[in-house]
Amino acid sequence: MSTKHEERANGMRFNQMALHQNVLGLTMRFGRGMEGQDAGDIPYRIVEGQPVYHIQNNTFPLEFNQVDPKTHVKFGSFEHPYLMMGMPDCPGKIKVYVDFRYPNWYVLLLRAQLDVWCSGPSYPAWALAAWTPRVQGDSKMKAGARMFHALVLGMDNVPDNEWTTNDFSPNWEHDWSPTERCAAIMHQVRRPIDNP
């Protein structure tokens, strides 16, 4: 194995750890790896009348192996200004995809890569983030919006009975640089509760 390959593989581990902790909200337990909770069949959220399951609270019910570029489409992307928290925080880019390989489900996939200045060259890390059942009248982007909405609620630590947070400065979008689809949903979540 070449030194460059080893370096990129080590960097991928940092990408994966950052993605799991700071985007998916999983907890690192020594000797066990990354863990979420298991609420069984109870969905993480009901978004637009449909259940959305999140890896932080649910276990994916089917076998998930490799990411296949033939079975997913890009939903959008955003920068995470503190993808790896530290001194200083290390930003990174998150790309968001809708996987359509399963007959009854849409799945939200994330691809994360820390900025090279803080972690060196690396392979990106992939993770399954959320899933929602296919329903009549659905499209990949419509299902993607439901799943991304749940992802942002989890990433921003919005309590179960709430739908918005005021934990962000009014100009948060400058640091996060979301694409249009991602920005629309992030704006729904990142606003004061008393600001309709």
Burial class (CB in 10 A: 0-12, 13-18, 19+), 80: buried
What is the distance, to the nearest Å, from the Cα of residue 99 to the centroid of all Cα atoms in its chain? 13
- Tens digit of pLDDT per residue, the chain (196 long)? 567 656 655 556 778 888 988 999 886 555 544 455 665 689 999 999 999 999 999 988 888 878 888 999 999 999 999 998 766 788 999 999 999 999 999 999 999 999 887 767 878 899 999 999 999 999 999 999 999 999 999 999 999 899 999 989 888 999 999 999 999 999 999 985 555 4
Residue 196 lies in a domain: no
Pair of tokens at residue 178: 């979301």
SS3 17: helix
State the pTM of this model.
0.88
Residue 91 contacts residue 82 (beta carbons within 8 Å): yes
Q: What is the pLDDT of residue 43?
A: 95
* CA distances, 115 to each of 8, 76, 125 (Å): 13, 18, 13
How many domains does the chain divide into? 1
Residue 67 lies in a domain: yes
Q: What is the pLDDT of residue 18?
A: 87
Residue 59 lies in a domain: yes
Residue 195 lies in a domain: no
Residue 127 contacts residue 55 (beta carbons within 8 Å): yes
Q: Which residue reads 């609270």 in tokens?
A: 57
For residue 172, what are the domain limits? Answer: 3-189
* AA identity, residue 17: M
Residue 114 contacts residue 89 (beta carbons within 8 Å): no
Residue 42 lies in a domain: yes
Residue 32 makes CB contacts below 8 A (sequence gap 6+) with none
Residue 150 contacts residue 47 (beta carbons within 8 Å): yes
Residue 34, beta-bridge partner list: 28
Residue 9 lies in a domain: yes
Interior CA angle at 75 toward 169 and 179, to 5°?
A: 35
Quote the CA–CA distance of 179 and 118 in Å, as a whole number: 24
From the list 9, 12, 28, 31, the residue with the least C-alpha distance to 20 is 28
Residue 194 lies in a domain: no
Quote the CA–CA distance of 111 and 45 in Å, as a whole number: 22
Q: What is the pLDDT of residue 33?
A: 47
